[in-house]
Amino acid sequence: MREIILLKRENEVRKLSASKAYKQLILGMLSLFIVMAIGRFSYTPILPFMQKATHLSNQDAGLLATINYLGYLIGAMIPTFLIMRSKVIDLKIYLLINIISVLLMGFTHDFITWNVLRFVAGITSGTVFVLASNVVLEGLNKGGKSHLSGFLYSGVGIGIFTSSIFVQLYTDSETWSSTWIILGVASLLMGSIVIFLMKDIKEPLNLEQKKLNIETDKSETYTKWFMVFFSIAYLLEGAGYIVTGTFLVAIVESIPNLKEYAALSWMFVGLTAIPSCVLWSVLGNKIGYIKAIYLAFMLQFIGVILPVFSHTTISLIISSCLFGGTFLGLTTLFMSRGQIMSAISGKNLVALLTFFYSLGQVIAPYFAGILIGDTNNYNGALIFASSLLVLAIIAIFLSQRQRQQT
């Protein structure tokens, strides 16, 4: 009788934990929707209209992107060293600051102020990304739903898709500032849901999850040089993808016969990014994460380099879909491997990988802006970005050579 009561109580706890895990997942997706898709990536489809209206140069556009990614690098490291009250409370504070920084972009034409606002948006985007990842993954673990972790990053794709449709339908060189304001207000409405509903989950791990944690594979070993090359590969991914991530809409805008589809290119990125995290996670489990990483890198390379050789509508769609379908997928693959390595080594390798990824994002847009210059020709920047992706594939190969020697 006692065993039946205990079993019944355990089932009730499991259901309650699972219910709260689902809630945490949805709120985490909403947080990433705000800080990543709007606070970070909405700059990409709005940029061409800002340039037309304010005569913002490509170099200055690249600098604004670099400033934002520098902020992201700093923000991603903050939770490692500083938690003010709790992860959930800190997330809410940084989320609100991020929303304000987006809203204020529409109230000024001053370049220095833009730099400050994009820097703040970068810091808060990085911090919320890390905090949301920690809070949601912990919640999913406690609810025994860790297999749903890939859905978290789909919030970014959903946000990119929906915001790009809005930009396509509403924005031009006269309404770019009100676009920022409307996106800021929309973020505030969505953010209020997170602020009022997200709470810490204090239930203990259920028995099934405890068993899963105990059975974590401790037999794998990773040398120092494996981690060096693996981190370099992720740094190069951060640098390689971000050139297209920053200038894609401007690239399409510069092609006369594709000009009217510029903002829609970003819509295809978001559309394919939505399922990519889950699909690449499943594929990584089926064929192995290294094979999946190789495949994702090769597809992303094709997506990045394609606009250099073809300016047709079909090639634009293919390029956008290949890019959108891989950049979040690679993040999922690297982060999932980083979590496993962290569990094995006892070190926070996820934070280390995030640092290198952010470093690549800081460096690349500035050099891409220089390569573009005043020519309005993006081929040099795209060749630069695709070359970095080739080097990333080589770095992954070298990391595996080091692992085989253990």
How do residues 145-160 score in pLDDT, each as one tens digit?
766 777 888 888 888 8
Q: Check: CB of residue 278 under 8 Å from CB of residue 285.
A: no
* Residue 358 structure tokens: 């952010």
Task: Quick: pLDDT tens for 129-142.
Answer: 888 887 887 777 77
Nearest to 95 by CA among 22, 33, 152, 164: 33
Maximal CA-CA distance, the chain: 80
Tell whether the torsion through CA atoms of 355, 360, 361 and 367 is positive or negative. Answer: positive
Radius of gyration of the chain (CA): 21
Ramachandran bin of 31, using left for φ above 0, alpha for ψ from -120 to 50, beta for the remaining angles:
alpha
**Mean of pLDDT values over 159-178:** 87
pLDDT at 12: 44
**Integer Cα distance of 57 and 387 in angstroms:** 25
What sign does the dihedral 35-40-43-45 (CA atoms) show? negative
pLDDT score recorded for residue 99: 97
Span 293-318, mean pLDDT? Answer: 90
Q: Is the pLDDT of residue 274 over 80?
A: yes
Rounded distance between C-alpha atoms, residue 25 and residue 27, angstroms: 5
**Residue 150, both tokens:** 């890939």
One-letter amino acid at 399 equals S
pLDDT band at 225 (very low <50, low <70, confident <90, very high): confident
Selection from 29, 71, 67, 33 nearest residue 188 by Cα: 33
Task: Please give the C-alpha separations between residue 149 and each of 76, 262, 285, 338, in angstroms, as whole numbers.
Answer: 19, 32, 13, 14
Predicted pLDDT at 151: 83
Which of 315, 331, 323, 341 minimizes the C-alpha distance to 281? 331
The Cα 171–Cα 267 span in angstroms is 14
- DSSP class of residue 373? T
Q: Which of 381, 392, 320 is nearest to 356 (CA)?
A: 392
Q: What is the pLDDT of residue 14?
A: 52
Q: Report residue 297 as tokens.
A: 């890198």
Of 184, 72, 79, 188, the residue nearest 133 (C-alpha): 79
Model pLDDT for residues 61-83, shown as the tens digit of each residue: 878 888 998 898 899 888 877 77
Q: Which helix (H) or strand (E) holds 405?
A: none
pLDDT reading at 179 higher than 90? yes
- Name the amino acid, one letter, at 136: V
Query: Rounded distance, CA 78 to CA 72, Å?
Result: 10
Whether the Cβ atoms of residue 95 and residue 146 lie closer than 8 Å to each other: no
pTM over 0.75: yes
Contact in structure between 276 and 326 (CB atoms under 8 Å): yes
29-33, 134-138, 348-352: lowest mean pLDDT where? 348-352
> 298 falls in which pLDDT band (50, 70, 90)?
very high
Cβ contacts of 9 within 8 Å, gap of 6 or more: none
What's the mean pLDDT in 337-345?
70
Determine the pLDDT at residue 207.
42
Q: Please give the Cα distance from 296 to 329 (Å, whole number).
A: 7
DSSP labels, 202-251: -PPPPHHHHHHHHT--------HHHHHHHHHHHHHHHHHHHHHHHHHHHH
Average pLDDT over residues 320-336: 88
Q: How far is CA 133 from the centre of its chain?
A: 11
**Of 313, 320, 189, nearest to 261 (Cα)?**
313
| Residue among 180, 87, 200, 194 at smallest CA distance from 133 | 87
Whole-number Å distance between alpha carbons of 196 and 189: 11
Q: Give the amino acid at 235.
A: L
Question: Average pLDDT for residues 32-53, to the nearest whole number?
Answer: 89
Average pLDDT over residues 266-270: 84
Lowest model confidence (mean pLDDT) among 2-11, 139-148, 332-341: 2-11
Mean pLDDT of the region 207-221? 45
Place 251 in a pLDDT band, splitting at 50, 70 and 90. confident
Q: With bands split at pLDDT 50, 70 and 90, how would you rate the model's confidence at 355?
A: confident
Please state, in angstroms and rounded to a whole number, the distance separating the CA atoms of residues 96 and 73: 19
